Amino acid sequence: MAVYLDYAAAIERYGKGEVNKLNIHDATAEQITALGKAVVKEKYGNLFDMYKQITGEDPYEVPMRIYPAVHYTMGGLWVDYNLMTNVPGLYALGEANFSDHGANRLGASALMQGLADGYFVIPYTIGAYLANEIRTTHISTDQPAFVEAENKVKERIAKLLAIKGTQSPESFHKRLGKIMWDKCGMARNADGLKEAIAEIQALKKEFWADVKVLGEADEFNPELDKAGRVADFIELGELMCIDALNRNESCGGHFREEYQTEEGEALRDDENYMYVAAWEHQSDSKWELHKEDLVYDNIKIAQRSYK
């Protein structure tokens, strides 16, 4: 399911431009190609090197094989305009929050939100919270909330280590990834998502009954770390499927096969789904949906088209 991305034409075009700039009138094809490659190298050299290293093919010479892949998880923690989450004093910056990238997250913009939040927002907003805390002295870890949280983490670690099953955390991660890739990928449908939810719930049960975590709790233990993460990924994967099943429209990175135009473009349902959603954890496999309506005063909502 890959497509080819061929730079040959671009190399020739850039090369001819360079030849013009340098006033070379009788440029050979080799000269044009060499100059064109130099322009491409200046623009994309690091990416081309990376591609060559991964695939063993030279993208300056042969077309690149590219395919869609999971980039980042879109969305994140709910925050207010000051970037504070619903936990007072806990701020979430960059793509850990939901604020700028919603249903659609454009590629190659990984740094944008981190820079914008860190550079232009938080220096001016966190002071409002800290101003009230300036006289707060050392907070004791004997407080019930701390003790409760600490015990919860300790219990979870002990539980993971006590299972002593037969399958590694990595193997569960791979199986979860396969379910998500097959059924909650760029194109998904209701049947697939329902299957995925059932499969992930079964995987969760199996994980907590049969995961094998070697090593001990009180040492540097990457396996324990991984097991904890995979346990979280399983929950997040389940929630992503529930969310995708809930949203009966196609929008941004969420393409529901049932909702498309005759030409195969995403078909939104602004009547029912023009909102940003946040899911609040209730209990195992239970989340509550909170909606924030999207209100546009200055622009007219239209369909995005690349044609």
Kindly indicate which of the ranges 23-31, 214-222, 236-244, 276-284 contains the residues binding other proteins, using the contact rule CB under 8 A. 214-222
Dihedral over alpha carbons 284, 285, 288, 290 (to 10 degrees): 120
How many residues of this chain bind other proteins (CB under 8 A)? 18
- Taking the complex as a whole, how short is the minimal distance between the CB of residue 211 and other proteins, in angstroms? 11
Nearer to other proteins, 184 or 213 (CB): 213
Beta bridge partners of 291: 277
Q: Is 206 one of the binding residues for other proteins (CB under 8 A)?
A: no
Q: What number of CA atoms fall less than 13 Å from residue 16's CA on the CB side?
A: 5
The residue from 24, 62, 198, 214 that contacts other proteins (CB under 8 A) is 214
Rounded to an integer, what distance in angstroms lies between the CA atom of residue 73 and that of residue 23?
49
- Taking the complex as a whole, how short is the minimal distance between the CB of residue 210 and other proteins, in angstroms? 13
The residue from 88, 107, 144, 222 that contacts other proteins (CB under 8 A) is 222
- Taking the complex as a whole, how short is the minimal distance between the CB of residue 92 and other proteins, in angstroms? 19
User: Strands 275-283, 255-256: parallel, antiparallel or unpaired by DSSP?
Assistant: unpaired
Residues 83-142 interacting with other proteins (rule: CB under 8 A): 119-120, 123
Q: Is 186 one of the binding residues for other proteins (CB under 8 A)?
A: no
Q: Is 177 one of the binding residues for other proteins (CB under 8 A)?
A: no
Nearer to other proteins, 54 or 108 (CB): 54
Short-list 231, 230, 244, 233, CA closest to 279: 244
Nearer to other proteins, 85 or 221 (CB): 221
Whether the CB-CB separation of 261 and 267 falls below 8 Å is answered with yes
**Burial zone of 143 (CB within 10 Å; 0-12 exposed, 13-18 middle, 19+ buried):** exposed
- Taking the complex as a whole, how short is the minimal distance between the CB of residue 216 and other proteins, in angstroms? 10
String marking each residue 20-49 x if it binds other proteins according to CB under 8 A:
-----------------------------x
Whether the CB-CB separation of 235 and 201 falls below 8 Å is answered with no
- Taking the complex as a whole, how short is the minimal distance between the CB of residue 133 and other proteins, in angstroms? 22
Tokens of 83: 């970037």
Backbone angle region of 283, left / alpha / beta, with phi > 0 → left and psi within -120 to 50 → alpha: beta
Whether the CB-CB separation of 160 and 224 falls below 8 Å is answered with yes
Q: Is 165 one of the binding residues for other proteins (CB under 8 A)?
A: no
The residue from 125, 168, 189, 260 that contacts other proteins (CB under 8 A) is 168
- Taking the complex as a whole, how short is the minimal distance between the CB of residue 224 and other proteins, in angstroms? 11
Binding site for other proteins (CB under 8 A): 49-50, 53-54, 56, 119-120, 123, 168, 170-171, 212, 214-215, 219-220, 222-223
